[in-house]
Amino acid sequence: MGNVAVIGSQWGDEGKGKIVDWLSSRADVVVRFQGGHNAGHTLVIDGVEYKLHLLPSGIVREGKLSIIGNGVVVDPWALFEEIETVSGKGVKVSPQSLKIAENVNLILPVHQKTDQALEAARGKGMIGTTGRGIGPTYEDKVARRGIRLCDLADTELLREKVENLLVHHNALLKGLGAEEMDVDWLYKELLEIAPKILPYAAPVWKVLDEARHQNKKILFEGAQGIMLDVDHGTYPFVTSSNTVAGNAASGSGVGPKAVGYVLGITKAYTTRVGTGPFPTEQLNEDGETLGRRGHEFGTTTGRKRRCGWFDAVMVRQAIKVGGIDGLALTKLDVLDGFDEIKICIGYELDGQKLDYYPASQVAQAKVTPIYETVPGWSESTRGARSWADLPPAAIKYVKRLEELVESTVTLLSTSPERDDTILVHDPFFS
């Protein structure tokens, strides 16, 4: 019996919600280890829909312990809005069911102002951030001027930190022609939110260590995808944290051996939200069909996702740098009805063939995909719960993907319903 880390193997939006829900029903502890409320996924349990952004998926299941790790950045106001929303659907959230790392960095209103002002100043060169202050908060964390959850317990220290923080941000806002932020106002806002959020503060690393010694099953829940990793993704069109499995350890306060099996959520085609390179994007009827059938709109932003064929080169690279042991392949049913399906098996760059995705921003934008075309299928795969329920051509497609990405499919999802899943290997017992 081991623990499981769930990460996205593409640009996020791979359908982690259903898979994480399926796994969280089997886990004792669910941990968010990176990102902020810029990511999100949807769970449907007993017909009730929950849209989660900061809260770990375990929060909707009674008896599970949910943890927000130190690698996450937390907007306390957004968190409590989310708590109120799920509470209105009958979910009980308390310091007993939710614990937040006391050393987590906080997203403040000034971070959102800075984020939006910077994005506006970039003009055509914008990165495509959600404007929620994620990036500036991580910047402050690395620059050692961030405000952490534990800082709210000392009013004198908090005042000093707010003043120090705004020396930087107000100079930046002024230079960008944006309105500066008032020290007294921000300090007052933090004093008001402090008694609401401090009861959730805990030494999360210690809580997780105790859980491990009690042989409890832990699910480490990532946000976004590996190709949005700040080191290994399509930089600078990436998020501000590490989305690879290695961050499950550092982002929650456990050693790397504690992470266990790494499950990579992988869509049967490819999507991306916002700007940045996308070699297999289909700006044609195929792309429109994928988006329409897949209901490709972001959970958090509502933005329409760009759609394209499966990129085996990119997923293979994500598997290797992300430490992925097996895949959960989602949305296979979206491909039903295509006469032919294309798979990217390589790239061409300035007359040379590549079997990997280069790091250079210029090269990433210039590569053209080399496709392999495979037969599609007319039968429906939606709702299939065993290999016998799948058309032979769909099985061949899955097996070909396994060959190309050099990994195996652990779970195969054939609809948003949690029971419409073909289980090949149980990650908790792998």
Residue 276 DSSP one-character state: S
Contacts of 195 (CB under 8 A, 6+ apart): none
Per-residue exposure over 172-201, b if at least 16 CB sit within 10 Å of its own CB, e if not: bbeeeebeebebeebbeebeebbeebbebb
Q: How does strand 270-272 pair with strand 261-267?
A: unpaired
Is 389 known to be catalytic? no
Contact indicator for 228, 36 with CB cutoff of 8 Å:
no
Selecting among 37, 41, 53, 111, the annotated active-site residue is 41
Known active-site residue 41? yes
Q: Tell me which residue has tokens 């044609």.
A: 284
3-state class (DSSP) for residue 67: strand
Cα distance between residue 72 and residue 67, in whole Å: 10
**Cα distance between residue 185 and residue 182, in whole Å:** 5
Radius of gyration of the chain (CA): 22
298: phi then psi, degrees, rounded to nearest 5: -65, 140
Alpha helices in 147-198, H assignment, sequence order: 155-175, 183-197
What is the Cα–Cα distance from 394 to 376, expressed in whole angstroms? 7
Instruction: Report d(CA 135, CA 112) in Å as an integer.
Output: 9
Joined together, the tokens standing for residue 385 give 């719960």
- Whether the link from the prior residue into 375 is cis, omega within 30° of 0, is no
Strand partners, 31: 67, 220
Q: Which of 428, 429, 430 lies closest to 23, judged by CA? A: 428
Q: Is 301 exposed, middle or buried (0-12, 13-18, 19+ CB in 10 A)?
A: middle
Return the number of other C-beta atoms located less than 10 Å from residue 112's C-beta: 19
Count of H-run helices and E-run strands, the chain: 12, 20
Q: What b-and-e string marks burial along 324-340, b requiring 16 or more CB atoms within 10 Å of the CB?
A: bbbbbbbbbbbbbebee
Q: Which of 13, 21, 75, 311 is catalytic?
A: 13
Residues marked as catalytic:
13, 41
